Structure 1
Amino acid sequence: MAGKQSIIVRQGNLFEPDSPLHGKVRGERSVMDFPFFALSKVAIDKELEFKIGKLSIQIRPSATGIATMYDKEIILYVASLMAQAVSRGEEVDQNFTFTAHDFFRITGVARPSKRDYDRFTDALERLQGTQIKTNIQTGSKIEKGWFSWLSEATAEYIEMPNGDQQLRVVKVRLCPWLHRAIQLDGHIYHYNHDYFRLGTIERRLYEIAHCHCVGESIEFPLDALALKVGSTAPLSKFKQHLKAVEASDDLPEYKVSLRDVIPHTERFDTRGRRVTKPDTVVVLAPRDRPTAAMLEAVAA
């Protein structure tokens, strides 16, 4: 046909993708509830460690830093593909193939730019390079060693007639820790699509509320919530951010409010002086209707 240009395939273009994703984004409870990702947009190149009760999480950075809350979008997308397949009764291994186009469609990027694609491939690198060690069990197993979110990640391109390269398909291998959680534990929650419009702390607040606000409000001491969110900022700065969230009231499905409470027991500072300053409690509550987190059982 006159005028039709052929496409030169640099890497194979014959594949059976697991995409497109139908319906809502879904996430696994442990990945929602605990601070596995960096909140900062700026690369964090030092190890992070969080201890919540008897649970511990250690995070080692990749060469380009720790995987961020924005990088987590890829993990949510892959987890959603897996949950979709499990819900259809399909046998699911750890390997997934999808198009970048479908990922951007799901996360609300209507016209992805070159910068968006560059960020996407950078995120794949951080997800493969970031190392996690935790005693949080999945599938009744505790892993003692380190693991990466993606043990393999390949972005395959085609070369256009003008010499430009176009990303067509992505192949990843999901870590056994998360694969077991989705397949065997089945604690899968739907995400509100407005989640992708939120900042990093707001995303964590939404996830924590989504896990714990089952038809009623839940309260956290300020320091306990900061730890669960994964904030490494001073408590005063974290509180200031929460006040801004409370004032804007933009969190989907849930409301955030702060209140001061007088401690039941007397406290003293290092000089033996009585501390009269009230404690701050953060309340996460469902909005008008008492909706739970839409738990979807997908256990094998």
Structure 2
Amino acid sequence: MTNKQAVILKQGNLFEVDSPLHGKVRGERSVMDFPFFALSKVAVLKPLDYKLGNVSIQIRPSATGIATMYDKEIILYIASLMAQEIGRGGEVDQEFTFTAHDFFRITGVARPGKRDYQRFTDALERLQGTQIKTNIQTGSQIDRGWFSWLSEAAANYTRLPNGEEQLRNVKVRLCAWLHRAIQRDGHIYSYHHDYFRLGTIERRLYEIAHCHCDGEEVEMPLDLLSAKVGSTASLAKFKQHLKDVEADDRLPEYRVTLKDVIPAEGRTDSRGRRISKPDTVVLLAPRQKKPATAVLEATA
């Protein structure tokens, strides 16, 4: 058998794929609203713990670090495939098969090279290796133990006539926690196509605004927004970054504005001296507000 014949036979045995994805990228609300992914491109090898009100999130790293906001693109893509199939009225289980080519098309990588494919497979490894524990319930159920975003991830390669291997498609098994959220809860939001051009903090700001701005401006204290973003920087550095975001004003669909306010109630330091320093609040506002009638209908 020639190499060319071997290639043809192997291609004939490829998995039946769920791609291509048609329409917009979509995400599930809890994964948008809370900080489940590392912001840094540098490997985060220490566990992360978040406590936001009654919500707790614990994240343990894989051998190569905690799954990042860039790795999250794969989760968004899978969630979009699932939402697409639900929209068609089809049966949706936890296993999905898709081509790397379609993933790159959706995320805006026009001509993926060897380095892009390596990043892609590294991301699959982190998504499978990162462990999460949270009390956020999905589908009226709480998972008390640890889970990974992908319980399985297998890459299928084709050997080319020149002896090189080419990634054809990937078969993954999505965690039950997120599968239930998409299938039973149905809190699904569409993403703007410019999302993939943003940095990690800008992506989190977009997601939080997308969850909470229902056609109206939302105000958040600086420390609360920092926690929801998942920032590990000081509040001063985080505030400076927000000032840069405000000045650039390139967040799709939303604007970010910082405002200093004087607390209504006087505060004192440990020596009993009055604190006159204002608090910083962050305004997240849609670029286009809903008509008044639409707001009334939404709140009725």
1:145 matches 2:145: yes
Structure 2 residue identity aligned to 1:63: A
Q: Residue 37 of structure 1: CA displacement?
A: 0.3
8 Å Cα contact 1:11-1:157 kept in structure 2: no
CA distance in 2, matches of 1:17, 1:138: 27
Structure 2 residue identity aligned to 1:201: I
Per-residue CA distance 1:206-243 (angstroms, 9 max, x = gap): 00000110010000000000000000100000000000
Q: What does residue 178 of structure 1 align with?
A: 178
Q: What does residue 294 of structure 1 align with?
A: none
Structure 2 counterparts to residues 251-270 of structure 1, below 5 A: 251-270=251-270
Q: What does residue 45 of structure 1 align with?
A: 45
Structure with bigger helix share is 2
Q: Residue 267 of structure 1: CA displacement?
A: 1.5
Q: Residue 162 of structure 1: CA displacement?
A: 1.0
1:243 matches 2:243: yes
Structure 2 residue identity aligned to 1:241: H
8 Å Cα contact 2:216-2:289 kept in structure 1: no
Q: Residue 269 of structure 1: CA displacement?
A: 2.2
CA distance in 1, matches of 2:26, 2:6: 35
Q: What does residue 227 of structure 1 align with?
A: 227
Structure 2 residue identity aligned to 1:185: D
CA distance in 2, matches of 1:159, 1:33: 42
Match of 1:285, SS?
A: strand
CA distance in 2, matches of 1:123, 1:10: 25
1:15 matches 2:15: yes
8 Å Cα contact 2:215-2:288 kept in structure 1: no
CA distance in 1, matches of 2:128, 2:52: 25
Per-residue CA distance 1:7-46 (angstroms, 9 max, x = gap): 5366973321000000000000000000000000000000
Q: Cα gap change, 1:12/1:122 in structure 2, threshold over 3 Å: closer, same or farther?
A: farther
CA distance in 1, matches of 2:110, 2:92: 30
Q: What does residue 69 of structure 1 align with?
A: 69
User: Identity over the aligned pairs, expressed in percent?
Assistant: 77
Gaps of at least 5 residues in structure 1 are 292-300
Structure 2 counterparts to residues 1-300 of structure 1, below 5 A: 5-6=4-5, 8=7, 13-290=13-290
Structure 1 residue identity aligned to 2:30: S
Structure 2 residue identity aligned to 1:71: D
8 Å Cα contact 1:44-1:66 kept in structure 2: yes
Structure 2 residue identity aligned to 1:74: I
Q: Residue 6 of structure 1: CA displacement?
A: 4.4
- TM value normalised by structure 2: 0.93
8 Å Cα contact 1:135-1:144 kept in structure 2: yes
CA distance in 2, matches of 1:41, 1:148: 20
CA distance in 2, matches of 1:10, 1:19: 19
Match of 1:58, SS?
A: strand
CA distance in 2, matches of 1:12, 1:43: 38
8 Å Cα contact 2:57-2:134 kept in structure 1: yes
CA distance in 1, matches of 2:6, 2:248: 49
Q: Residue 274 of structure 1: CA displacement?
A: 1.8
Q: Residue 161 of structure 1: CA displacement?
A: 1.1
Per-residue CA distance 1:54-112 (angstroms, 9 max, x = gap): 11000000000000000000000000000000111111100000000000000000000
CA distance in 2, matches of 1:31, 1:286: 21
Superposed CA RMSD = 1.5
Q: Residue 5 of structure 1: CA displacement?
A: 4.4
Per-residue CA distance 1:160-186 (angstroms, 9 max, x = gap): 111111000100000000000000000
